[in-house]
Amino acid sequence: MSAACKLLAVLVLLLGLLASGVAPAQALTRTAQDPFVAEVLRLTNQYRAGAGLPPVVWNQSIANVSQAWAEEQNRRISKDTFTMEDIHREGYGSWQIPAGWDWYTENIGINNTARQIVDWWMASSVHRAGMLNPRATDIGVGWMKTTHPDYHGMYVVVENLAGYPATRATLPQVDLSSFREGDIAAVDAAGNLFAYPSAGGGDMWNRIWISSGWKDAAQIEVADWNADGIQDIVARRSNGNLTVSYGLVLGGLAAPRTIGFGGWSGFDIEVTRWMTADRFPGIIARELASGKAYYYANPSGGTHGARSYLGSGFKNSDTFTVDYDADGRMDLVARTAAGTGQLTLYRSNGAGAFLAETRRIIGSSGWNKITHLSTLPNHLGDGGAGFLARDTSGNIRYYKVTKNKTAAAVYIGRGGWESLKLGS
Ligand SMILES: [Ca+2]
Ligand SMILES: [Ca+2]
């Protein structure tokens, strides 16, 4: 037995059924209470939950078909007739499982533990696609422990997944919750993350629970970090790391992935396409102690890249980005303490640098009563620019920006917003 065969798994999608198959005799019944089966089931559903998918449910009739094939594979291993070429039976077991399915697949693996089996499948795109298929509803798992000396007691595992409309009707609906550009993200004191969908300029009374576990989020930003068309959440954590939680096609967020390792506690961040040529949005980071601003590139939609120096003078400031003059080049707006609080415009050249010019004051007074500022693009669904502000009375306001002009504030939430950590 070659080493290459010690880790194997094959999945073939059903394209057509060509000839009749014969189910081998079955000796054992493995139920969902079998510890090995239970672990495969638990891990499979854990990965599905992580992808925002409903669980698959145990189907003993399918499991009997899985078990029969695991026994046949084990017989072949024992007799040294096992081959990769015919690791799947004709029809892949689809003729033996109960009728009525509208989707079906089979995964096979040989390895030492349930986790190694499932993780191997997750690392293989075709097997992963089967396990994380939104149409899957029912699962069966069978296994044998081989006694062939070359296999050192490894498990031969067959997993069959099928989609049955009748089961689907009993499962939770696929989570369609996701952030869209123009929505507001909010974390409450208990660490729950909510999406407040844009009400197109109206009151944002509605909210959707997304996930828990955000208590250590010091700052959150809504942005499409990997530029796949789905909004993600970039967070600065209290341990100084930066994470991204990618938005999923079917709604919800993937588990957070660390994209910045330590040292971010001393910075305020905003995720923005600062350079016109940026494929992915990067991070403007203001160092709180020095008031210096930097731009961290995002070369691949994953871990952040190198930083470049932008400028200084942002101590005790608050900032957001918006293309204020609508020239296609992102600009920075800084709230300063002058008078009763002003907004100062730092236009950029689209290539990473501020323009050398006299700074224009675009908000003359009263901005010291604002406790949160962040860019809020496309809030009205028209692709337009704007920003979000929270005042000391706990109201949130939307300011639409058209070329060189800030419209009057629209109150999109009245009262109660002061206890939330906001991001947009
Ligand atoms: Ca994304
Ligand atoms: Ca501009």
Q: Could you read off the pLDDT of 246-301 as tens digits, one per residue?
A: 998 777 899 999 999 999 999 999 999 999 999 999 999 999 999 999 999 999 99
The encoded tokens of residue 9 equal: 């798994």
What's the CA dihedral at 254, 255, 256, 257 to 10 degrees? Answer: -90
The pLDDT of residue 18 is 31
Nearest ligand to residue 179 Cα: 1
Report the alpha-carbon distance of residue 380 to residue 199 in Å, rounded: 8
pLDDT above 60: residue 8: no
Q: Would you tell me how many other CB atoms lie within 10 Å of the CB of residue 423?
A: 25
Report the alpha-carbon distance of residue 332 to residue 273 in Å, rounded: 11
CB contact at 8 A, 134 and 101: no
pLDDT above 90: residue 364: yes
The encoded tokens of residue 105 equal: 């697949």
- The pTM score is 0.62
User: What average pLDDT does the segment 11-31 reach?
Assistant: 51
What average pLDDT is seen over the chain? 90
Give the Å distance between the CA of 74 and the centre of ligand 2.
67
CB contact at 8 A, 260 and 244: no
Report the alpha-carbon distance of residue 119 to residue 113 in Å, rounded: 10
The pLDDT of residue 175 is 57
Give the Å distance between the CA of 295 and the centre of ligand 2.
16
The encoded tokens of residue 259 equal: 């994209």
Nearest ligand to residue 323 Cα: 2
Give the Å distance between the CA of 54 and the centre of ligand 1.
21
Residue 174: which pLDDT band, with cuts at 50, 70 and 90?
Answer: low
Nearest ligand to residue 281 Cα: 1
| Angle, CA 211 vertex, CA 210 and CA 217 arms, to 5° | 110
The pLDDT of residue 26 is 57
Give the Å distance between the CA of 358 and the centre of ligand 2.
15
Which residues touch 264 (CB under 8 Å, ≥6 apart)? 236, 237, 240, 241, 242, 285
Burial of 329 (0-12, 13-18, 19+ CB in 10 A): middle
Q: Output phi, psi for 42, to 5 deg.
A: -60, -45
Give the Å distance between the CA of 244 and the centre of ligand 1.
9
Give the Å distance between the CA of 142 and the centre of ligand 2.
61
| Angle, CA 288 vertex, CA 284 and CA 289 arms, to 5° | 135
Nearest ligand to residue 355 Cα: 2
pLDDT digits (tens, 9 = 90+) for 109-145: 999 999 999 999 998 878 988 898 888 999 999 999 9
